A = this chain, B = another copy of it.
Amino acid sequence: MNLESVSGNEQTIADAVEVALQAIGHLEVRRFGNTVVARTSLGRSERVVVAGHLDTVPANDNLPARRDDEKLHGLGACDMKGGCAVALRIAATMPEPNRDITFLFYECEEVEAERNGLFLLSRSHPDLLEADFAILMEPSDAVVEAGCQGTMRVDVTTRGERAHSARAWMGENAIHGAADVLTRLNAYQPRRPVIDGLEYREGLNAVFISGGVAGNVLPDKASVSVNYRFAPDRSEADALAHMEEVFEGHEISVSDSAPSAMPGLSVPAAAAFLEAVGGVARPKFGWTDVARFSELGVPAVNFGPGDPHLAHKAEEFVPLEHIRTVENQLRNWLGAPQ
């Protein structure tokens, strides 16, 4: 069965998920837009969120899916139908887990924050996200990827004065002024802090540059858009202060920002989970929705089948072995008989 579910077009798949979950007697199911929440209420001493997004990036000649002996290929196989499949199977087959579980299947993770189902639920029904721990089933090579780096984009603007390029001495070239910005980027040494035993790697990169008025005019403005990826020991305010320091003397403005998330592996629920799934954790460099749980005070990790480097690529796939491993480790942790 191939259900297209590009961001904004999740109704069919959300319907299918809702029907499947409603058929399971031990879950209370609620729907918000194309986000589906299903909870056990067994009175356990601990509650865990198991979350996955239903949407995919746009199709890229990679539908329908196909399966061989080792892999499932196709749009979303890696990011993150594999993780959602594991969550649905746990939901259907474990009526009495040793922890209460809130399953969350949400819409619009791949697009702007304002449409993100997890973000919307955190504003409308934060009580539904209350938990001791959260597992985001993003592809992570079937091991725990902890925390996530924050991301900020700042526009660094240089200014000058227009003049005809045949009489350049009458003006000041703003593009030439950007040399200093690029030189600072080239000289920049990104930090590699170790947090909870994990080494993060920051980065500072120009992602866009623009400037120019006409082919015979010295431009009066140039702009470099710089993306700063910052480790979980820095807040967004720290990140901005650092950008102001790096680009001191230049005009900067923030165009985009999202916080980091601490790995949080020292929290007992997280430590227990890590031990149950093999004890191996590595840092998450990219930004994921674990940062939203972190903001809500819920420790969270990325843990799902699939290679994160394949996300958003035409040739994405998920190894069947990852799916089996992740499912078995979750089942054990949730108290299934060995």
Contact = CB atoms under 8 A, between A and B. Distances in A.
Interface of A: 149, 151, 153, 164-169, 173, 175-176, 178-179, 182-183, 185-186, 190, 201, 203, 205-219, 222, 224-225, 227, 229, 256, 285-287
Nearest to A228: B165
Nearest to A164: B286
Given A165-B229, A166-B286, A205 B173 contact: yes
Given A165-B205, A166-B286, A212-B209, A182 B179 contact: yes
Top-9 shortest CB links A-B: A208-B212, A179-B182, A168-B203, A175-B206, A166-B286, A166-B285, A165-B227, A209-B211, A175-B209
A149 B166 contact: yes
Most buried by B among A149, A203, A218, A219: A203
A313 B66 CA distance: 64
Nearest to A286: B166
Nearest to A211: B209
Given A179-B179, A183-B183, A208-B212, A203 B165 contact: yes
Contacts of A165: 151, 203, 205, 207, 227, 229
B178 A209 contact: yes
A128 B90 CA distance: 90
A206 B176 contact: yes
Given A167-B201, A209-B210, 12 more contacts: A151-B216, A166-B203, A168-B190, A173-B206, A175-B206, A175-B207, A179-B186, A206-B212, A206-B219, A207-B219, A208-B212, A210-B212
A49 to B, nearest CB: 24
Given A211-B208, A256-B215, A229 B182 contact: no
Nearest to A173: B205
Contacts of A201: 167, 169
A216 B227 CA distance: 7
Contacts of A224: 175
Contacts of A203: 165-169
A247 to B, nearest CB: 14
